[in-house]
Amino acid sequence: MTDHDVRVLDESEFRAAHTLFRGALHHPPAPDDTWKLVRESYEPGRAFGAFVDGELVGTAQSFPSRLAVPGGAVVTNAAVSRVGVRADWTRRGVLSSVQRAQLRGLRSAGEVVATLRASETAIYGRYGYGVATRFRLLRIDRRQAAPRTRPAGRVRLVDGESGERIARGLFEELSPRRAGTIARWPAWWAFNVRQAAAEDNLKLAVRSGASGDDGYVAFKVTPGVHDATDEKPTTLSVLDLWARDAEAWADLWLFVLGIDLVAEVTAFGRPVDEPVEWLLGDRRACRVADVADETWLRLLDVPAALAARTYAAGEPVVLGVRDTYLPENAGSYRVAADGVTRVDDAPELVLDVDVLASAYLGDVSFSTLAAARRLDVVEAGALARADALFAAAEVPWCGTYF
């Protein structure tokens, strides 16, 4: 398939790109008042468009962000979003052309990684994106839950404006402690918190302990329907919850589980290792409704990404990386406890860059990937060495939907 004409969009084209993207997701164009807010999230130089005979047929853009990696460092991260191809131009290589331009553009701009949320799992692997974190969707029968403990600190409801300020401060302090988290851009807060608080009944509650504010929860209650023809329970959705320590974390959960008239508490996008069940008197009140792929990670600059994270103790391993879209990443890397070097040595494990991305944050081991035939094992002993080096102290998790 030949390349389409792909270029960076200028400001006058942002709205058409947004309309195209919404159309690809079967939504109507954003109304004028919403567009004012959305417009702020299009930054110059970050939106791409594909054209055929001068007509826009495909688009993708990214938000400026950072990704926390194992060991505590953060790297530049392009949070890729708003990918769409007009329905009458799909399966003609338009997205592939856009991806080629976007990956090259992001790498040239010095971005170390890109991350995205995939609408469908078949799309992004070919461009070098691998699933690097997962999340859980919880459904808790609140009346059955019977929490085992009582709050230790104070949780207070705050209004949208001061709540957003406190939440932003806590999020920026706390989130980078966990590998897989990303920095949020101003428009994320404007859209997901400020607008949601003003127009969509989003509530914020802040927890404070001995040393001041140490966690917050953003949630929304949808009142139930109780009449002769319809019956829907009142549900509370936990949308965002961050805490400095286990005590603050438990208090925030106890707070939402204690809100009157709510029949069901749901939480979308929570970490797979979050011990909510253990807070409850009846652990069966908490159902894991789903465990799904969260972060799709693209290592744009493999040497920089490998150098940014730390490794656990263990013997070195030589990885052979393949990368079709950014061939400068291809080659052998010797990964050791004290760092990574590019080498000419024969690789012991050979893998595509999307598979390396899946192992990068430590969510899945090389042994698991090998068992699923996602990598070639040249030297059998290398698997255990790679597993030991890349092992993560904590399950990676992002926690930011975009």
Ligand X SMILES: CC(=O)SCCNC(=O)CCNC(=O)[C@H](O)C(C)(C)COP(=O)(O)OP(=O)(O)OC[C@H]1O[C@@H](n2cnc3c(N)ncnc32)[C@H](O)[C@@H]1OP(=O)(O)O
Per the annotation, does 130 bind a ligand? no
Nearer to ligand X, 4 or 203 (CB): 4
Residue from 6, 17, 94, 193 touching ligand X (CB under 6 A): that is 94
Q: What is the dihedral of CA 296, 300, 306, 307, to 10 degrees?
A: -130
Nearer to ligand X, 84 or 347 (CB): 84
- Which of positions 11-30 make contact with ligand X (CB under 6 A)? 24-25
User: From residue 62, how far is each of 4, 78, 103, 192, 249 by CA, in Å?
Assistant: 20, 6, 11, 17, 31
* CA 21 – CA 56 distance, rounded (Å): 11
In whole angstroms, how close is the CB of 90 to ligand X at the nearest point? 3
> 222-259 burial string, b = 16+ CB within 10 Å, else e?
eeeeeeeeeeeebbbbbbbbbbbeebbbbbbbbbbbee
Residue from 70, 84, 163, 316 touching ligand X (CB under 6 A): that is 84
* CA 51 – CA 246 distance, rounded (Å): 51
Nearer to ligand X, 80 or 170 (CB): 80
User: Which helix (DSSP H) or strand (DSSP E) does residue 278 occupy?
Assistant: none
Burial class of 111 by CB neighbour count within 10 A (0 to 12, 13 to 18, 19+): buried
Per the annotation, does 94 bind a ligand? yes
Per the annotation, does 373 bind a ligand? no
Alpha helices in 25-159 (DSSP H): 32-39, 94-108, 142-145
In whole angstroms, how close is the CB of 92 to ligand X at the nearest point? 5
Based on its alpha-carbon atoms, the radius of gyration of the chain, rounded to whole angstroms, reads 23
How many residues interact with ligand X (rule CB under 6 A)?
23
Longest dimension (CA), the chain: 74
Q: Which residue do the tokens 């329907």 mark?
A: 225
Q: Per rule CB under 6 A, is residue 95 in the interface with ligand X?
A: yes
Per the annotation, does 120 bind a ligand? yes
Per the annotation, does 95 bind a ligand? yes
Residue from 68, 75, 83, 392 touching ligand X (CB under 6 A): that is 83
Q: Per rule CB under 6 A, is residue 120 in the interface with ligand X?
A: yes
Residue from 31, 108, 122, 210 touching ligand X (CB under 6 A): that is 122
Indicate which residues carry an active-site annotation: 124, 402
Interface map 315-344 toward ligand X (x if CB under 6 A): ------------------------------
Cα 162 to the center of its chain, rounded Å: 26
Q: Per rule CB under 6 A, is residue 65 in the interface with ligand X?
A: no
CB-based contacts of 65, cutoff 8 Å, min separation 6 = 76, 77, 78, 79, 115, 182, 183, 184, 185
331-336 sheet: strands from edge to edge: 339-343, 331-336, 317-322, 349-352, 376-377
In whole angstroms, how close is the CB of 129 to ligand X at the nearest point? 9
Per the annotation, does 169 bind a ligand? no
In whole angstroms, how close is the CB of 84 to ligand X at the nearest point? 4
Nearer to ligand X, 94 or 145 (CB): 94
In whole angstroms, how close is the CB of 27 to ligand X at the nearest point? 10
Nearer to ligand X, 122 or 228 (CB): 122
Question: Which residues contact ligand X (rule: CB under 6 A)?
Answer: 24-25, 58, 80-85, 90-96, 116-120, 122-123
Annotated binding site for acetyl-CoA: 83-85, 91-96, 119-120
